[in-house]
Chains A and B, each alone.
Chain A
Amino acid sequence: MRRFWSWSIVGLGVVYFFLPLVGMLEFSLKMRRGAYSLDAYASVLADARFRATFGYSAVMAALTIVLGVLIVVPTVFWVRLKLPKLRPVIEFITLLPLVIPPIVIVFGYIRLFNTSSWLPLTGSTLGSDILLMIGYSVLSLPYMYRAVDTGLAAIDVRTLTEAAQSLGAGWATVLARVILPNVLVAVLSGAFLTFAIVIGEYVFAALLDRPAFGPYLVWAGGNKAYEPAALAVMTFALTWACMALIQLATRFSRHTRMQPK
């Protein structure tokens, strides 16, 4: 009887979560009257704005990931190695983007970097792109930080660093040849999360007026019938693909981590 109830609750949860998705999927297939078809998807893919905005956001995501890795990996490494007392502080800082609404952050940016400020980033396309990339790396900071921190926890950072140093390695070599290869999987999972966040982000892109995928999604939602459903299904699929890739990367690399006791 208890099993029955627990399964019922699980079932209820599954229905609650999946029913809207199934509804959306079903709706996205109904563009052609009276028959299921992929017309909505074809229409989305044929839309030049879709391709342009998606491409723009994908490039931004890639740049954000590079920036995030360059900031987070050395920081986490240094904190673990030399400033373990600062860890709670750093952890708190990396959590701030979850607490402060993006709208507040972006208004702050606009105030600080507007055309009449000391660094008028919003005055040019390139400047706005840079600002957007920086904003995105702030948004993804909690995820990137946690992913890399977990990755570094799995290896003996201190001893490996010292072993490399005693073999003649400087800091750059230690980071590039010892630390990074050993946290690559963690960095990858952080990267996929960053990608998923950047692709769907709306507030930053809209307020900085950049042609990103998020604003396009919103625009399509207001102006088309079947295509938004198709787009939603596609973004879901993309996010899930990212999550599957994280799983895959973790599994793929697990054997190199195991150390006999």
Chain B
Amino acid sequence: MSFLDLSGLRKSYGANAVVKSFDLTVEKGEFVSLLGPSGCGKTTVLRMVAGFETPSAGTVRIDGQEVTGLKPNQRNIGMVFQAYALFPNLTVAQNVAFGLKIKGMPAGETRDRVADMLRLIGLPEMGSRYPFQLSGGQQQRVALARALAPQPRVLLLDEPLSALDAKIRVSLRAELREIQQKLGITTIFVTHDQEEALSISDRVVVMNAGLAEQVGTPFQVYNQPRTRFVASFVGTLNTVEAQVLDAGAGRLAIHGAAVQMAVPPGTRGKVQLALRPEAVHLGYGVDGDVVLPATITAVEFMGSVIRVRAACADRIMALDTFNRPDTPPPVVGAAVSLSFKPRDLILLEG
């Protein structure tokens, strides 16, 4: 039995189902991200776990206890919002103590816990400040401390970093992960930023239009996307079309070039294949590689990586090459060959 268990969660507003049959199990201490484009239902799932929305169907179980019918203030869940939701009339210390006071914790114990929490978020001296005297990153850290202080069973984070500057966002997400691991708290993190989700999660749920399209480790969803949506939303993606010549023998053709790869038996006609930019190389590669002729259309020098776009038949392929001080990048308009290994091709379901 997993620690947090969402089963068959549904939420409709009138005729509009924004979450359609959502299942997820989370182990104790696990950090799971819900990743998907804006409007796909991430926040709605989170709010059903927190109790702010009543599911149209389905159940939420925490630690074996069904909480679907419980009010938000009976669930013992910590939540951090995108908008810094600190109480503006209370100091940092009073904000962190808010949940403890409601629990009826004695004053002395509360003081110690608040001090511990402020130390945990690296703001031990800020207890007497007011929220308006803090930067956005500091406010969000205080919001995290406030949510964690009453020792909730589950921590829910709804795009907590989205309102912050890019630099702070990156440093704070690492800090967040560190704190989460230190406390071993079961966490669901909502984001539309794939890099964010991949970098700090144990597992990622890629959502699209109210459904979980794929659940897996960051490595799995990036390298083995099950659907075209997952492949394109998680990272940049090249898609190529292939003609199945003989499904049983695994013989396909991409723009006339023969490719050997396993496809489900009985597949016929055209299939969609995906290819990561880092799997495509300039030049002929080695024996067994698929080689396609192409024309360079754009070159982006990004420092250690150079991203090249090349027109290959009717499609544009993106590929990443590492910068080498002794080799200048290709020029736009040059005729080149692109090569990749058949095993890097990903067969997409839809």
Residues of A that sit less than 8 Å from B by CB: 155-156, 159-160, 162-170, 173, 177-178, 181-182, 255-260
Contact = CB atoms under 8 A, between A and B. Distances in A.
B88 A167 contact: no
B73 A162 contact: no
Contact of B81 (A155, A163, A260): A163
A183 to B, nearest CB: 10
B219 interface: no
B102 A168 contact: yes
B50 A168 contact: no
B92 interface: no
A165 B81 contact: no
* Most-contacted residue by chain B among A156, A165, A167, A170 (CB, 10 A): A167
Contacts of A260: 132, 134-136
Interface of B: 50-52, 71-73, 75-79, 81, 83-89, 98-99, 102-103, 130-132, 134-136, 143, 146-147, 150, 156
Nearest to A261: B136
A162 B89 contact: no
A256 B102 CA distance: 23
B113 to A, nearest CB: 13
12 contacts: A159-B81, A159-B85, A162-B81, A163-B85, A164-B87, A165-B73, A166-B77, A166-B78, A166-B156, A177-B98, A182-B89, A260-B136
A256 B79 contact: no
A170 B89 contact: no
A167 B95 CA distance: 10
A155 B52 CA distance: 19
Given A167-B99, A168-B150, A169-B73, A162 B88 contact: no
Given A256-B88, A259-B88, A166 B50 contact: yes
Contacts of B50: 162, 166
B146 A167 contact: yes
Contacts, number: 78
A164 B73 CA distance: 8
A165 B72 contact: yes
Contact of B83 (A159, A177, A258): A159
A169 B74 CA distance: 9
Q: Which 5 A-B pairs have the closest CB atoms?
A: A167-B99, A166-B79, A163-B85, A168-B102, A159-B85
A167 B85 contact: no
A53 B140 CA distance: 54
Given A168-B150, A181-B89, A260-B135, A173 B83 contact: no
B130 A256 contact: yes
A256 B79 CA distance: 23
A82 to B, nearest CB: 12
Contact of B87 (A160, A168, A257): A160
Nearest to B152: A166
Given A155-B88, A182-B89, A256-B89, A162 B132 contact: no
Nearest to B74: A168
Given A159-B81, A167-B150, A260-B136, A178 B73 contact: no
A156 B83 contact: yes
A260 B88 CA distance: 12
B84 to A, nearest CB: 7
Contacts of B78: 166
Given A156-B83, A159-B85, A166 B132 contact: no
A171 to B, nearest CB: 9
A168 B143 CA distance: 15
A65 to B, nearest CB: 21
Contacts of B84: 259
A170 B87 CA distance: 16
A26 to B, nearest CB: 47
Contacts of B76: 168
A163 B135 CA distance: 19
Contacts of A156: 83, 85
Nearest to A159: B85
B83 A256 contact: no
B132 A255 contact: yes
A168 to B, nearest CB: 4
* Most-contacted residue by chain A among B130, B132, B136, B146 (CB, 10 A): B132
Contacts of A178: 87
B132 A169 contact: no
Contacts of A166: 50, 72-73, 75, 77-79, 147, 156
* Most-contacted residue by chain B among A164, A166, A260 (CB, 10 A): A166
A257 B87 CA distance: 10
B276 to A, nearest CB: 38
Contacts of B132: 255-260
A225 B85 CA distance: 60
Nearest to B149: A167
A19 to B, nearest CB: 45
Given A162-B72, A162-B85, A167 B102 contact: yes
